[in-house]
């Protein structure tokens, strides 16, 4: 949100439409964007906990072939364990979390980048002991298939791992 002294602050351009635009975070440093509503992580089904999203670019009339979204996972929360045919990339912006890519789990923090290949089962989580939510940008194709939810116990069994 804060801008350097002497620089021109971007005007509040209309949200809808295919033209150049800037969406600013508030001056108080909160993790939201002026004029972009916070949405539910998913509108239908799925096993997830403590997740929200902001659709930043690619859903309001822009001609982009990708969408830029910000997700936040509260401490102790997780996204749906799923797979799909499309790829996507995540970039950590706030806090720390972990990304599951197939049977492997990796820590991710601010500035770290993860790539999910087509067909890979994946999930993002924020540890229950975290002091703040895990926030990340997700870049994904605008035209994509629907995710397929994976049942965790069956997935772990397939990987030869034990369920906690």
- Cβ within 8 Å of residue 81, ≥6 positions away: 47, 100, 121, 122, 123, 149, 150, 151, 152, 155
Catalytic residue numbers? 138
**First CA to last CA distance, the chain:** 41
Closest CA to 142 of 71, 82, 61: 61
Write the CA distances from 77 to 6, 26, 95, 161, integer angstroms: 41, 25, 13, 21
- Separation of alpha carbons 3 and 23, rounded Å: 13
């Amino acid at each position: 949100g804060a801008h350097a002294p002497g620089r021109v602050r971007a005007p509040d351009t209309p949200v809808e439409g295919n033209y150049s635009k800037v969406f600013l975070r508030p001056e108080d440093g909160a993790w939201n964007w002026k004029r972009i509503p916070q949405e539910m992580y998913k509108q239908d089904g799925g096993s997830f906990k403590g997740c929200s999203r902001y659709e930043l670019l690619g859903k309001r009339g822009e001609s982009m072939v990708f969408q830029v979204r910000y997700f936040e996972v509260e401490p102790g929360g997780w996204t749906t364990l799923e797979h799909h045919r499309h790829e996507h990339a995540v970039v950590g912006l706030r806090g720390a979390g972990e990304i599951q890519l197939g049977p492997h789990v990796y820590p991710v923090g601010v500035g770290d980048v993860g790539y999910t290949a087509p067909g890979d089962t994946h999930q993002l989580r924020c540890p229950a002991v975290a002091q703040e939510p895990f926030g990340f940008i997700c870049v994904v194709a605008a035209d994509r298939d629907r995710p397929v939810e994976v049942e965790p116990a069956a997935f772990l069994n397939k990987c030869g791992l034990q369920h906690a």
